[in-house]
Amino acid sequence: AQSVSQHNHHVILSEAASLELGCNYSYGGTVNLFWYVQYPGQHLQLLLKYFSGDPLVKGIKGFEAEFIKSKFSFNLRKPSVQWSDTAEYFCAVNAPGGGNKLTFGTGTQLKVEL
Amino acid sequence: DGGITQSPKYLFRKEGQNVTLSCEQNLNHDAMYWYRQDPGQGLRLIYYSQIVNDFQKGDIAEGYSVSREKKESFPLTVTSAQKNPTAFYLCASMGTGYSNQPQHFGDGTRLSIL
């Protein structure tokens, strides 16, 4: 069974600091990769996704992620965070076929301080 | 606007009682999913359905039941057999008529025990 690891459970940054959240998955075949964000009191929203092609994907709100197949990683980055980026971030993986089920990481709670 | 509607937003269950969480989507999506979110554990898949009148167990199906009588509806029943039902429940849907689509999520239902 595939699994997803998010190593940073809680991250606190000051505004304008750079962000990198780690995500590693365990599945040897072709995967689709996602980052979702959950702002306080809001529903889960898609930040970005990787299916194929350029391993550097850009998402909404200035976020990007790089798929490194050899490292089974899909780390999320943002050069300069804002207070409004305070949220919980989830990495997710699915193996095509088999119901397109998503396997989620445990999430990273990001707090951005003014 | 198209989307996923979950109701109620908050639900309280008495000991020994079954409760049903509603999930309706007007996105014309074939596939629907139920996840449970617990602090520090991310989202875990309870049940999913790829077509009407068909559904499969996810990773934590014990104590839950579902039905899929209509394409737009996928209600989840939390039965009295679920000994630890307090959690945040998220419903998602996805189009399967074309490849490489993300799952869309509802706003969730928070279930608590009285």
Q: What CATH number does residue A48 fall under? A: 2.60.40.10
- CB nearest A101 (choices: B58, B96, B102): B58
The answer as to whether A75 is a domain residue is yes
Give the pLDDT band (50/70/90) at residue B21: very high
- According to the model, what pLDDT value does residue B98 have? 57
**Residues sharing a CB contact under 8 Å with residue A58, sequence separation 6 or more, in sequence order:** A48, A64
- The count of CB pairs under 8 A between chains A and B is 56
Residue A37 maps to a domain = no
Q: Is residue A38 part of a domain?
A: no
Q: Domains in chain A: how many in total? A: 1
- pLDDT band with cut points at 50, 70 and 90 for residue B41: confident
B42: nearest CA partner in chain A = A106
A60 touches chain B (CB under 8 A): no
Comparing CA positions, the residue from A6, A83, A8 lying closest to residue A39 is: A83
Contact B111, B90 (CB under 8 A): no
Provide the mean pLDDT of chain A: 92
Distance between B60 CA and the closest CA of chain A, angstroms: 12
Interchain contact A44–B (C-beta under 8 A):
yes
In a domain, A51, yes or no: yes
Q: Does any domain span residue A78?
A: yes
Within a domain: residue A87?
yes
**Would you call A90 an interface residue with chain B, using a CB distance cutoff of 8 Å?**
yes
Residue A36, in any domain of the structure = no
Distance between CA atoms of residues A87 and B7, nearest Å: 23
The reported pLDDT for the residue numbered B114 is 81
Each residue's pLDDT tens digit, A26-82:
987 888 999 999 998 888 999 999 998 999 999 999 999 999 999 999 999 999 999
Which residues on chain A are in Cβ contact (under 8 Å) with B33? Answer: 101-102
Rounded-to-integer distance, Cα B113 and Cα B13, Å: 5
Identify whether the C-beta of residue A59 lies closer than 8 Å to the C-beta of residue A83: no
Whole domain around residue A88: which residue ranges? 4-31+43-113
Is A49 inside a domain boundary?
A: yes
CA A87 to chain centre: 12
Say if CB A30 and CB A43 are below 8 A apart: no
Give the per-residue pLDDT at B101: 77
CA distance A14 to B108: 30
Using one digit for the tens of pLDDT, what is the confidence trace for B48-98?
A: 999 999 999 999 999 999 999 999 999 999 998 888 999 999 999 998 765
Q: What is the pLDDT of residue A113?
A: 96
- φ, ψ of residue B37 to 5 degrees: the values are -115, 120
What are the phi and psi torsion angles at A84 (to 5°)? -70, -5
Residue B35: the pLDDT is 96
